[in-house]
Amino acid sequence: MASNRILVIEDDAAIRQGIIDALEFEGYRTFEAARGDTGLDMARSVECDLILLDLILPGGDGLEILKEVRATRPTLPVIVLTARGEENDRVRGLKLGADDYVVKPFSVAELLARVQAVLRRSPERPSDVSEVPFPGGLADLARCEIRFEDGGRARLSEREMELLRYLACNAGRAVSREEILARVWRLEPRGIETRTIDMHVARLREKLRDDPAQPAIILTVRGKGYVFANDER
């Protein structure tokens, strides 16, 4: 059975309930919103693995929500649901970063197949990892926050949180910059400058209080990449 968490943003109560019933029958955990403004708030704050997003919503335009989600949670997959089947709408949605586009009316079987396909090719961010302990503190990924034993705290950006999650889930294995680009940034690594990965790792080390001269949490493996070396994991 599936265990991924899916946020459904759809104003039509009957359609929304039908989607939720189908997802929950397949084992997915669901969250729901009937308005664009509440949906955007939930998209920013709820720990989910995929968003099903209607385009025509009261309280906010679906494409604007998609644009905001891509800016704040770039690795979160989104499937757009809409009655607007014109090509320009599909193209605009895909250009803004939608992972798939389903035109109403659609069958439950088609929707579930598309959900499964998008989740299979989405970045590896296991839903059961919500906390990452490290010497001297704990990273609370659900809250995007680091808490230290001395009472100190530090905030993580969405990208930093996803990077830390991916490295922690692959603890003890050297992860290449190209793999990080593909799995966390969701970019084709060929021909892309990977210096941005080094900059994010440097900022993450700083927030973890990991000495860049002699790191003990995120290690650099020359010629290979980075490895999360957490003895408490």
Could you report the per-residue pLDDT of 131-182, keeping only the tens digit for each?
Answer: 999 999 999 998 999 999 999 999 999 889 989 988 998 888 888 888 888 7
pLDDT at 11 over 50: yes
Of the ranges 27-31, 43-47, 157-161, 174-178, which one carries the lowest mean pLDDT score?
A: 43-47
CATH ID of 5-121, from 3.40.1350.10, 3.65.10.10, 3.40.50.2300, 3.30.565.10: 3.40.50.2300
Tokens of 3: 């265990």
pLDDT of residue 183: 73
Cα 70 from chain centroid? 10
Distant-in-sequence, close-in-space partners of 55: CB < 8 Å, separation ≥ 6: 61, 62, 63, 80, 81, 82, 84, 89, 93
Counting every residue written for the chain, the total comes to 233
Tokens of 87: 């090509």
Q: How would you class 223 by CB atoms within 10 Å of its CB: exposed for 0-12, middle for 13-18, buried for 19 or more?
A: exposed
Instruction: Report the chain's mean pLDDT, rounded to a whole number.
Output: 86
pLDDT of residue 230: 60
Task: Please state whether beta strands 131-134 and 153-155 pair in parallel, antiparallel, or not at all (unpaired).
Answer: unpaired
pLDDT of residue 185: 80
pTM given for the model: 0.55
| CATH code assigned to 131-228 | 1.10.10.10
